[in-house]
Amino acid sequence: MSTLPLPAASRGRGLLLLELDGAGSHPAASRASRTAPPAAPSADRLRGAVLAAESAGFHAATFADPGLPDYSAPVSAEPAAAPRLNALQRAAFAGPVTRSLALIPEVDTVYTEPFHIATQLASLDYVSGGRAGWLVAASASAADAAAVGREPVHGQRLSREAADSIEVGRRLWDSWEDDAVIRDVATGRYLDVDKLHYADFEGENYSVKGPSIIPRPLQGQLPVLVPAGLLDREALAAGAADALLVSAPTPELLAAEIAETRAALAGIGREPALIAELDVVLDSRGQTAVARLDALNSLAAWQSPRARFVGTAAELTELLAGVLTLADGVRLHPAVLETDLEELSRLVLPELRRRQLLAPVSQDTTLREQLGLSRPASRYAAATAADN
Amino acid sequence: MSHSIHPATEFTPSGQLQLGVFFQGVNSGTVWKAADSGSQTEFESFRRIAQTAERGLFAAFFLGEGLRLREHLGRPHALDVAGRPDAQTALAALAAVTTNVGLVATQNTTYNDPADLAHRLSTLDLLSGGRAAWNIVTTDNAWTGANFRRGGYLDHADRYTHAEAFVETAKRIWDAWDESGAVRRVRHTGKHYSVDVTPRLPRSAQYRPVLFQAGDSPEGRDFAARQADVIFSAHPQLDDALDFRRDIVARTLKAGRGANDVKIMPASEFILAATPQEALEKKAWVRSLQIGPQQAIAYLEQFWGRELQGYDPDGPLPDIDPAVEETSETRGSGFHGAKARQLADQWRAEAKEKGLSIRQFVSARTSRGDSTFTGSYTEVADRLAEYARTGAVDGFNISPWLIPTGLDEIVNHLVPELQERGIYPTEYAGTTLRENLGLAVPVRPAADVTGAESASAAARV
Ligand SMILES: Cc1cc2nc3c(=O)[nH]c(=O)nc-3n(C[C@H](O)[C@H](O)[C@H](O)COP(=O)(O)O)c2cc1C
């Protein structure tokens, strides 16, 4: 696979991603924020958050779409009932507001129509000038299933639903070759029909004809980020994922998990970028991280599958410096967005940048470019060329 | 903006007009062959049109939807504009760069899930501070179904029963939150789908998205009379518009609503210039670019179901008969179902009687309301004053024939004329679309309309 570009880490520079969900990743974040949360989710708050992430120098923001609250849970299940705006539309709103920040919404593959997902994500790429990505989710929730009147999906089927949806998305993104819009006044043709292709996807549960209703996204193919372990080897070998999100139970175990994931990928002919997942609680304004976390935990328990860092900015910087030599990037999940982001942008990112551990940030860079990926030709263009 | 307890039984014209802009993503309305025609997909085009509309105090920026690329004789249609972004994604981005204009997303009820669509529309409504609207359409062709899980076709007879159950479920979802943050669980089990959901979003500044409807059959009109706030109609000519108004008022009263409760905004095209003569010349030029020789032939080919390349676009309609029984559905659901042979005979007779060539005939057929809004700024403003006076419509949804500068003349020249005549707003009435359209705020039903229990499902935030 010598033709593949080197992953960012091989060049010694990594990416920092920020999860931008609501008030923060801790379930009590909204109650701990210094400013009272507005009754309804507000555009101003979202605008402020993405601008803060961009000016802090993050490469990308992710937008969670945490599914429906489980109505069988007790009424006090506060975080599940918190107002949730659609992630993809939050990312779209952020498009014209930002210039360098890549925008990566989480989109479910099980209960959402693949055709809608593909065209919405392609549209996101247009409104963000090529800065869009897709964080693949596969909901196992009974509430999400009931909302659309379907049976919940588990185990291997989740993996297949995700792989199918990604495949549909990729085929639809390629279904218009780059130069399909020709606007040829002489012949009256707006399109070169030979450059449009049916996706003709036939899956276990559905089929999708195509072509897309929107021309090829600016990036050609949006980068697809997938939690490690969701897709099977076959899907990975087929190139379904451009990046894998790697989790470990503790910060200490992250390095080993990254190495194991890399080893597991060896021999399949693909090298998706590896992005480490980390929850973060920092010392802030005279309060220790431990004290802050205790206070938050007294309001609600924080159950997270991710490694959790609790400590000072300097300690976090050291941890990230280590992880960034192994992984291609780290996605940070601040406990309380406004509080932890302030410390990250004041103390952590500048130091990492000074040590030249971060890939450069520049305006109008595509997410593919950030990930060190070239812009692919449409698979159908390649096929046409081969036929000739 | 109070909710009328006794709905008005008599229609009273407001004497005012509103404008909306329909950014055409497909078909021959946009003259892409003009030298200054810009991109149909780049965000800059959308931003430019939306911000110009806002400068002109337009009530709404409107996006259509088509979930399958149009085809022509079995292949994607090559001649007209094609390819547009997903409506809600584009509008969410526009919400960030506009402050007052309404954001209307056309979304069909056949290939969406009610809980998902209601949630996404609520998102747009909250992100825009209460400026979102849903233009409800009922795409029913098998054609579009091939891109979706449910596949296939929804019978004509089922289309509006399905749509109505869908819209009622969406309304229940939007009604589910009360001011204190308590939420009702919403359940629906029906013929076409079932829903069981505890909604995730509170009400917006305008309570819930404004509902537009586009569809013209008697069933479509009754559906609008029961459910919609605004009809996006296809009747821009004054007489026709007045008939349509009478019909809608009658249907609205029958549905138990007030005579003024459903607004009407027809699709329209404006071709303006400083003088009447210039405007006519401009119209001839616009028409020649919209329906060129290839488009004229291709248009007939869709109804004939066969190639007609040998025919002279400036000659008479083809003398051979259609190769199909029924006309195709390739231009969308509005076009299929007619008997091809009968249609061909009828068109040939009509063209012959009026002495029209293929091009002239197709041009006339594809531009409804043709001369009504062609003229000098003052002429057209005078004509529009008549619409305001009679209450034939509440406003117009304008399709600019040029992207992205097609609203400039309207905003710079026509709007001031309308303002001088006192029939157009001089400032936005409010920050929400509901306020700007003069619509009443819905009242939250005390109990869920289906009577489903709510207490046990209540969640607090
Ligand atoms: C002015 C107007 C605009 C329409 N725009 C759309 C559209 O953007 N997308 C769509 O799928 N259907 C659109 N439709 C089609 C209608 O939703 C509907 O499917 C069609 O009119 C047939 O319904 P009917 O039998 O009630 O007229 C439009 C219809 C009208 C009258």
Phi, psi for residue B231 in degrees, rounded to 5: -105, 125
Is a pLDDT exceeding 50 seen at residue A8?
Answer: no
Is a pLDDT exceeding 60 seen at residue A131?
Answer: yes
Question: CB within 6 Å of ligand 1 — which residues?
Answer: B 64-66, 106, 108, 137-139, 214-217, 219-220, 232, 234, 267, 333-334
The strand pair at B186-189 and B194-197 is best described as: antiparallel
Residues ≥6 apart with Cβ < 8 Å to A60: A15, A16, A17, A18, A101, A102, A103, A104, A133, A367, A370
Q: Min CA distance, B40 vs chain A (Å)?
A: 10
The 8-class DSSP code of residue B81 comes to B
Per-residue pLDDT at A79: 39
Q: Min CA distance, A10 vs chain B (Å)?
A: 35
Per-residue pLDDT at A82: 64
Per-residue pLDDT at B158: 84
Is a pLDDT exceeding 60 seen at residue B385?
Answer: yes
Per-residue confidence band for A6, with pLDDT thresholds at 50, 70 and 90? very low
- Calculate how far, in angstroms, residue B334's C-alpha sits from the geometric centre of ligand 1: 6
Per-residue pLDDT at A85: 92
Is a pLDDT exceeding 80 seen at residue B217?
Answer: yes
The predicted model gives A44-49 an average pLDDT of: 93
Per-residue confidence band for A69, with pLDDT thresholds at 50, 70 and 90? low
Is a pLDDT exceeding 60 seen at residue B347?
Answer: yes
Place of tokens 């002429």: B379
Residue numbers of B between 282 and 301 with CB closer than 8 Å to A: 292-295
pLDDT above 90 covers a percentage of chain B that reads 75
List the helix and strand counts (H, then E) for chain B. 15, 14
Per-residue pLDDT at B5: 62
pLDDT above 90 covers a percentage of chain A that reads 84
Nearest atom within ligand 1 for CA of residue B233: 1
Is a pLDDT exceeding 90 seen at residue B267?
Answer: yes
Question: Mean of the per-residue pLDDT values for chain B?
Answer: 91
Residue A111 near residue A67 (C-beta atoms within 8 A):
no
The predicted model gives A229-234 an average pLDDT of: 96
pLDDT above 70 covers a percentage of chain B that reads 93
Asked which of A101-105, B112-116, B320-324, B372-376 is least confident by mean pLDDT, the reply is B320-324
Residues of B in contact with A139 (CB under 8 A): none
Q: Where are the beta strands (DSSP E) in chain A?
A: 15-19, 60-63, 102-108, 134-137, 181-184, 189-191, 201-202, 207-208, 224-227, 243-246, 273-282, 307-311, 329-334
- Calculate how far, in angstroms, residue B158's C-alpha sits from the geometric centre of ligand 1: 16
B349 touches chain A (CB under 8 A): no
| Position A236, amino acid | L
Is a pLDDT exceeding 50 seen at residue B456?
Answer: no
For B166-187, what is each residue's pLDDT tens digit? 999 999 999 998 888 788 999 9
B194 touches chain A (CB under 8 A): yes
Per-residue pLDDT at A32: 79
- Calculate how far, in angstroms, residue A139's C-alpha sits from the geometric centre of ligand 1: 34
Calculate the dihedral angle through the C-alpha atoms of A262, A264, A269, A275, rounding to the nearest 10 degrees: -40
The strand pair at A273-282 and A329-334 is best described as: parallel
- Among residues B62, B64, B43, B61, the alpha carbon closest in space to that of B99 is found at B61
Residue B276 near residue B42 (C-beta atoms within 8 A):
no
Per-residue confidence band for A33, with pLDDT thresholds at 50, 70 and 90? confident
Residue B81, phi-psi category: left (phi > 0), alpha (psi -120 to 50), beta (remainder): beta
Is a pLDDT exceeding 80 seen at residue B330?
Answer: no
For A147-203, what is each residue's pLDDT tens digit? 999 999 999 999 999 999 999 999 999 999 999 999 999 999 999 999 999 999 999
Cβ-defined contact of A89 to B69 (cutoff 8 Å): no
d(CA A376, CA A252): 37
Per-residue pLDDT at B99: 97
Per-residue confidence band for B140, with pLDDT thresholds at 50, 70 and 90? low
For A296-306, what is each residue's pLDDT tens digit? 999 999 999 99
Nearest atom within ligand 1 for CA of residue B217: 26
Cβ-defined contact of B89 to A123 (cutoff 8 Å): yes
Q: Which of B156, B248, B333 to mutate to test the pocket of ligand 1 (most atoms within 8 A of CB)?
A: B333
Per-residue pLDDT at A9: 46
Per-residue pLDDT at A5: 43
- Calculate how far, in angstroms, residue B340's C-alpha sits from the geometric centre of ligand 1: 21
Residue from the list B83, B194, B457 with its beta carbon closest to the beta carbon of A176: B83
**A interface test, pick of B147, B191, B285, B456 with most A CB neighbours within 10 Å:** B147
Cβ-defined contact of A40 to B123 (cutoff 8 Å): no
Scored b (16 or more CB within 10 A) or e, A351-381 reads: bbeeeebbbebeeebbbbbbbbbeebebbbb
For B72-123, what is each residue's pLDDT tens digit? 888 999 999 999 999 999 999 999 999 999 999 999 999 999 999 999 999 9
Q: Where are the beta strands (DSSP E) in B259-327?
A: 263-268, 271-273
Q: Which CA distances in Å does A222 have to A67, A103, A141, A380? A: 23, 11, 26, 16
Residues ≥6 apart with Cβ < 8 Å to A294: none
For A255-278, what is each residue's pLDDT tens digit? 999 999 999 999 899 999 999 999
The predicted model gives B140-169 an average pLDDT of: 86
The model's pTM: 0.95
Is a pLDDT exceeding 60 seen at residue B356?
Answer: yes
Is a pLDDT exceeding 90 seen at residue A7?
Answer: no
Cβ-defined contact of B89 to A209 (cutoff 8 Å): no
Place of tokens 């990926």: A373
Per-residue confidence band for A21, with pLDDT thresholds at 50, 70 and 90? confident
Is a pLDDT exceeding 90 seen at residue B286?
Answer: yes
Q: Min CA distance, A134 vs chain B (Å)?
A: 14
pLDDT above 70 covers a percentage of chain A that reads 90
Cβ-defined contact of A127 to B43 (cutoff 8 Å): yes
Size of interface A-B (CB pairs under 8 A): 210
Q: Take atom 12 of ligand 1 and give the residue whose Cα is closest.
A: B137
Residue B422 near residue B415 (C-beta atoms within 8 A):
no
For B290-309, what is each residue's pLDDT tens digit? 988 998 999 899 888 889 98
- Calculate how far, in angstroms, residue B139's C-alpha sits from the geometric centre of ligand 1: 7
Phi, psi for residue A286 in degrees, rounded to 5: 80, 0
Is a pLDDT exceeding 70 seen at residue B461?
Answer: no
Cβ-defined contact of B127 to A124 (cutoff 8 Å): no
Asked which of A73-82, A306-315, B8-17 is least confident by mean pLDDT, the reply is A73-82
B191 touches chain A (CB under 8 A): no
Please, where are the H alpha helices in B97-230? 114-127, 142-145, 156-175, 218-227
Asked which of A76-80, B48-52, B143-147, B330-334 is least confident by mean pLDDT, the reply is A76-80
Residues of B in contact with A127 (CB under 8 A): 43, 46, 85, 89-90, 92-93
Output the DSSP codes for B348-361: HHHHHHHT--HHHH
Tokens of residue A371, six digits = 């990930």
For A292-340, what is each residue's pLDDT tens digit? 999 999 999 999 999 999 999 999 999 999 999 999 999 999 999 999 9
Higher-confidence position of A388 and A362: A362
d(CA B252, CA B250): 5
Is a pLDDT exceeding 50 seen at residue A344?
Answer: yes
B186 touches chain A (CB under 8 A): no
Q: Which of B216, B237, B367 to mutate to test the pocket of ligand 1 (most atoms within 8 A of CB)?
A: B216
- Calculate how far, in angstroms, residue B17's C-alpha sits from the geometric centre of ligand 1: 23
Cβ-defined contact of A215 to B83 (cutoff 8 Å): yes
Nearest atom within ligand 1 for CA of residue B63: 8
Question: Mean of the per-residue pLDDT values for chain A?
Answer: 91
Is a pLDDT exceeding 80 seen at residue B450?
Answer: no
Output the DSSP codes for A217-267: PTTSS--EEEETTSS-HHHHHTT--SEEEE--SSHHHHHHHHHHHHHHHTT
Place of tokens 């103390």: A347
Q: Which CA distances in Å does B379 have to B164, B279, B341, B396, B418? A: 41, 10, 41, 17, 11
Per-residue confidence band for B370, with pLDDT thresholds at 50, 70 and 90? low
d(CA A182, CA A184): 5
Nearest atom within ligand 1 for CA of residue B67: 11
Per-residue pLDDT at A388: 55
Enumerate the β-bridge partners of residue B339. Answer: B326
Residues of A in contact with B67 (CB under 8 A): 115, 213
Per-residue confidence band for A3, with pLDDT thresholds at 50, 70 and 90? very low
